Structure 1
Amino acid sequence: MAEAGLAMRNTTDRRGILVRGVGAGVGVAMGGMASSGDGSKDRKPAGSVSQSRAVNQRRGPAIGAAVAVIPGGYQPFTQPCSVPLDLQPTSVGVAPWQPGAVFHGIAPEFFDRRYAEFPDQPFFELYPTQYYDLRVQRVVHEYVPGVRTPGYGYGGSIPGPTIRARVGQPVVVRTYNELDVELSTHLHGGHSPAHSDGYPNFYVLPGRARDYFYPNTVPLRNAQYDFTESPSTMWFHDHAMDVAGPNVWYGLAGFYLVTDQLEDDLIRSNVLPATAYDIPLVLQDRKFNPDGTLFYNLLDHNGQLGDVWLANGRVQPFMNMQRRKYRLRLLNGCNARFLELRLSTGQPFTKLGKDSWLYPAAIEQQTILLAPGQRADVVVDLTDAPNEVFLENILYQIDGRKPAGSLAKPVHMQQPQQWLKFVVEGSRQPDSASVVPGTLLRPHHELNPADAVATRVFEFQRRNGAWQINKQYFDPAIAAATPTLGTIERWIFRNSTAGWWHPVHVHLTGQQIIRLNGAPPPLADRFKSDVVILDGGGEAESLLDFR
């Protein structure tokens, strides 16, 4: 197969980038109407952005070959792990600019904050709106010290800054596209207006801006605010049609962490670790060219696998830790690599939640399986740990289509991949959090299959080198399902391809998995999820509550 080169150019027309892959994930999204504003109000900063060449092509080796390129001769675990900085609001309560006065506008819900199914009921809102400016720019990032790698960054950084929000405090993020490729930002796990969901063709065009409105509210149940739906660990990433894969590979991902009174009380009472010991960690694999630029194969539509392991945008870093319990928000930010994580000591994780939500009670897991896009909210207890502990991936995968084995019988590596080293120092800390398996967290409302008003089947097929759902190629103008607000539906996801695994993500609502490959799901998957993994020939049955 011929290789194709991709450079970050001053101009990029759409026809020239249609060959770019989008990774191994499959999304099912509900669309909606977009509003538009006055494009003359868009603002661009003074100065120019570097137009450095960011990507070159080379024939990539299979994972496991001893030729992984680590730029600059870097020795693993000799640079500190960074923690993404928090994005600071431009203003709170008073808009610093006219909301919606940009080319791509703002969601109409910003002006009419009422529940569609209960028009007399306003959104749950306790705090003044926070307004943010977020510029998507070319950046030069040091994955390893001294090697300057061009890429893309939210707010000028890789990974992007963390947005911290509260349930009951709306957020508006004015997102400026200063790149030469279209963007669409998806808040993964968010219960957002359609205009702000990051639908694949709800673009932020080059040189334009969009106001993303995130209500950070909760839906209603029996006309009451339902705080069992309060989210905790979300993330945002590019989701633009045909270019999401390379855009995220170059750096477009960041955390969006939410809290509410219940979670605040758990932290205040020292059940959960304090914010100082709460660490978001995005794990990614990447591949580099010998000159330190990123390698991305535009002609490989089987998903991109890297051969270098990153934590928070650094190649195999270390992190200094005290002898206490830490909360880790683990995000699989890979393009196609599934991860099965463990601690090198063999100590289990105390898992607080999956994807966006806390569990009803903490559970114990020896290993954590994460598909691309999935999150695990875990506590690790380093109180009596040795001086060095590694976060490791043990799942064997050399093909972007899937790991070896099946969900029931995964294949593990004899020599695990070490992604991050914890350097444990000092004496035992007396104020460590008290959470243990079984500790009560957030109440869970269990959906009843008998309440489902409809059953829909979504079957994934590979045809002519592309993907279909129910024998239809993706068409942004066609809605594959139009559920009624206030109803519960049963959705069956079916993977008819034996040679692929699919992480299936439904936008705008969570799902309660009730059967996985013909059996009840494991305990860790029985509550709310926003991603379900289908292995080769697999099937999942979920309940979705549309509110």
Structure 2
Amino acid sequence: MPVLLDGLDQFKHNAFKNDLPIPDVIDTSKHKTVTLQVQQFEQFLGLYDQNGLPLNTTVWGYGTGQHSSYPGPTILAYEGQPVTVNWQNKLPVDGHLLPIDMSIDIAEPVRRPLEAGFIPIVTHLHGGHTKSAFDGLPTQWFTQSKSGPGGIGPREVGPDFVSSTATYDNDQQAATLWYHDHALGMTRLNVYAGLAGFYILQDDNRLDLVKTGILPSGPYDLGMAIQDRAFTSDGQLYYPAFKGDPLPGTEMTVGDVVPETFYEAKGDGAASIVPEFFGDTILVNGMAWPKLDVAAGDYEFRLLNGSDSRFYVLKISDPNVAVHLVGTDGGLLPDAKTVIDGDGIQEDNEYILIAPGDRLELVFDFSKLDGGDTVRLENVGPLFDPFKGLSDDGHLLGGVDSAGSNDPVGNIMQFNVDTSLKAFDAKVENGTILVKDFVDLTTDANQDGVADSANYVRNLGLFEGTDEFDRVTPRLGKAEAGIVSTDTTGESGGDFGPLSFTAPVTEKPLLGSTEQWNLFNFTEDSHPIHLHLPQFQVFEKRHIDFLDTNEDGIPDDTNDDGLISYGAGSTPDYTQADIWIGDKVTLRPEETGLQDTIHVDPHEMAAVVSTFDRLGDYVWHCHILSHEDNEMMRPYTVVDPDLLV
């Protein structure tokens, strides 16, 4: 059993000791073509041994040749100015840093096998309006091409590989995007090893807001990638996979969450995926619990939740700090929303919820603080459990324990107020207009539950079952009223039921169409659902009721007629229908504006509206990476209506 670095001990002795790293910036106004190499190297992540000496950690990252980093360099791009990125796999041919589960659907080269040390990678621009060929689909992977134990010769590529050189058109509004690895069955491992970075898109509107002093810029505009990790006692990345491996923060091991059926089939020494991963150490931009010296003024912080499974419920330790939400995944909101008012009173409903894959653009106002004051960004989300939702006053649902201010995972970073620093006074406040021509896709004039803009409505399901080894396996699938099918291959057809990643495509939006996707969560946990290609808008969320008496992860057909039916109302009558769509759930500010990732809580339906304006193959999936890698991903295809027979 590996010996782990104690996150609590690291926090007590080393938190807020090291400065927040700021990744290098590649300004594409000067470089229209960029080469980024994936490399392996050592980096200091803010960890120390028992003697107080710094520990270096072997990580993967992106770089321009001589210098690589985790996170990778921030790419600064501009609307209407395409950028070409040449992604290169320069990893050593000596295997992965982390254990690989070979029993799941995985990128598995034949000529350049994993067993010989080759590593498939592919980079996805998350939130980018990207052509299918350059999307970084999980089957567009490619390996190293250098010599090694597997021999010499060209790299091996995935079945849908087109090119490792991608062109990003940047034909969307200013937004905080990010790039990260997306190789099939290995996304969680490759991202955990360090393969992620910011991609900041600017446009004339945002630049005007900066020019007029409404929003901060330059040194007052910073990206912060929040990720949880765990480490071995010598400071190396730790990801539980083997039977006796401890699960950080708990008394359990992998063998407690992976059934014996798996080990009977694969052997006690086999590596297995786990249902979720939660680390006991919080990194921001690759540094454990960093600090940032700030002036007594305004800053824009672009927050990214780059964690595997952890949801963060963020609060500010000093109630005199105000926070304004100005942007979400797809860019600026129509108008700013104050989410923490800075009136000096801590209120339960003043918090910021950010799910895996989400980005938020927030303006922090430190102007009421004095020199020498310290402020912590804290997390009151789950300690080491899946997120199951929040009450209106910000308390966790589902009996989940909340992180506290003395817990390592209850702290993100610290701000130290330094009045010798020049302060920036942003003009933004609650209600400030940020996007004058925002197009709202969510109007429903006749109140029929369908957005007026939608040409088509799909009902889709979030399910949870088991695989051939009885391991918990989350899946996506169809949720239309009609015939129930438990055949995840899709061969038996049906209207309702979970489907595997390799099942035939069932979602085929027409080019140029606007669709409403109703996402029904039939599982016990919350899931952040991400669509590649479009930025969507959340039409509504509603509570849903259903029964699952046999706990197979599929709602009961309560009258045994072989069909699933829907009813409307907050008081379910299962003699009349199997699934009941009830009261509206109030949307949080973080769920407004343009989104590419939306979390759906248990017993909840989230309806999203998006326009599909590029042809080709894409995917939609849960952005809990342990779920995405374990079947909770489905392909979809945007088709040309002129070619339909």
Q: TM-score higher than 0.5 here?
A: yes
- 1:486–1:514 Cα change, 3 Å: same
- The 5 A counterparts of 1:122-521 are 130-144=32-46, 146-155=54-63, 156-179=68-91, 180-207=118-145, 208=155, 210-218=164-172, 230-298=173-241, 299-346=272-319, 347-365=321-339, 366-386=350-370, 387-399=373-385, 401-402=386-387, 410-411=395-396, 412-415=402-405, 417-426=410-419, 429=422, 431-443=424-436, 444-447=438-441, 448=443, 449-464=451-466, 465-470=472-477, 471-476=497-502, 478-498=504-524, 500-517=525-542, 518-519=583-584, 520-521=586-587
Equivalent position of 2:98 in the other structure: none
Q: How far is 1:90 from its partner?
A: 11
Q: How far is 1:317 from its partner?
A: 1.2
For residues 464-520 of structure 1, the C-alpha deviation after alignment (integer angstroms, 9 at most, x for no partner) is 12222223443357323111122111101111112x210001110011111112415
Q: How far is 1:327 from its partner?
A: 0.5
TM-score by length of 2: 0.64
Which residue, out of 1, 12, 16, partners 1:77? 16
Aligned-partner SS, 2:452: helix
Give me the whole-angstrom Cα distance separating, in 1, the residues matched to 2:144 and 2:221: 36
- 1:193–1:176 Cα change, 3 Å: same
Equivalent position of 2:634 in the other structure: none
Give me the whole-angstrom Cα distance separating, in 1, the residues matched to 2:591 and 2:498: 29
Aligned-partner SS, 2:380: strand
Give me the whole-angstrom Cα distance separating, in 1, the residues matched to 2:422 and 2:498: 57
Residue identity opposite 2:40 in structure 1: R
For residues 290-312 of structure 1, the C-alpha deviation after alignment (integer angstroms, 9 at most, x for no partner) is 11111101334221101011111
Contact 1:309 1:419 in 2 (8 A): yes
Residue identity opposite 2:395 in structure 1: P
Which has the larger strand fraction? 1
Residue identity opposite 2:15 in structure 1: P
Give me the whole-angstrom Cα distance separating, in 1, the residues matched to 2:316 and 2:228: 18
Deviates most, 267-276 or 131-140: 267-276
For residues 121-176 of structure 1, the C-alpha deviation after alignment (integer angstroms, 9 at most, x for no partner) is xxxxxxxxx10000001121111263111111111211111000000110010000
- Flag the structure with larger Rg: 2
Contact 1:497 1:536 in 2 (8 A): yes
- 1:338–1:285 Cα change, 3 Å: same
Give me the whole-angstrom Cα distance separating, in 2, the residues matched to 1:404 and 1:540: 13
Deviates most, 404-413 or 448-457: 404-413
Contact 1:461 1:495 in 2 (8 A): yes
Contact 2:461 2:498 in 1 (8 A): no
Contact 1:278 1:329 in 2 (8 A): yes
Structure 2 residue runs of 5 or longer lacking an equivalent are 48-53, 92-117, 146-154, 156-162, 242-271, 340-349, 397-401, 444-450, 467-471, 478-496, 543-582, 614-645
Contact 2:181 2:195 in 1 (8 A): yes
Structure 1 residue runs of 5 or longer lacking an equivalent are 1-56, 62-66, 93-129, 219-229
Give me the whole-angstrom Cα distance separating, in 2, the residues matched to 1:289 and 1:360: 46
Aligned-partner SS, 2:18: coil
Residue identity opposite 1:446 in structure 2: D
Residue identity opposite 1:339 in structure 2: Y
Equivalent position of 1:87 in the other structure: 26
Q: How far is 1:198 from its partner?
A: 1.3
For residues 409-467 of structure 1, the C-alpha deviation after alignment (integer angstroms, 9 at most, x for no partner) is 63244436221111111158565221111111013211141231211111011121222
Q: Percent identity?
A: 30
Aligned-partner SS, 1:450: coil
Equivalent position of 1:107 in the other structure: none
Aligned-partner SS, 2:276: coil
Q: How far is 1:373 from its partner?
A: 0.8
Aligned-partner SS, 1:267: helix
Which residue, out of 511, 525, 529, partners 2:591? 525
- The 5 A counterparts of 1:36-55 are none
Aligned-partner SS, 2:80: coil
Give me the whole-angstrom Cα distance separating, in 2, the residues matched to 1:413 and 1:157: 30
Q: How far is 1:60 from its partner?
A: 7.3
Give me the whole-angstrom Cα distance separating, in 1, the residues matched to 2:376 and 2:387: 25
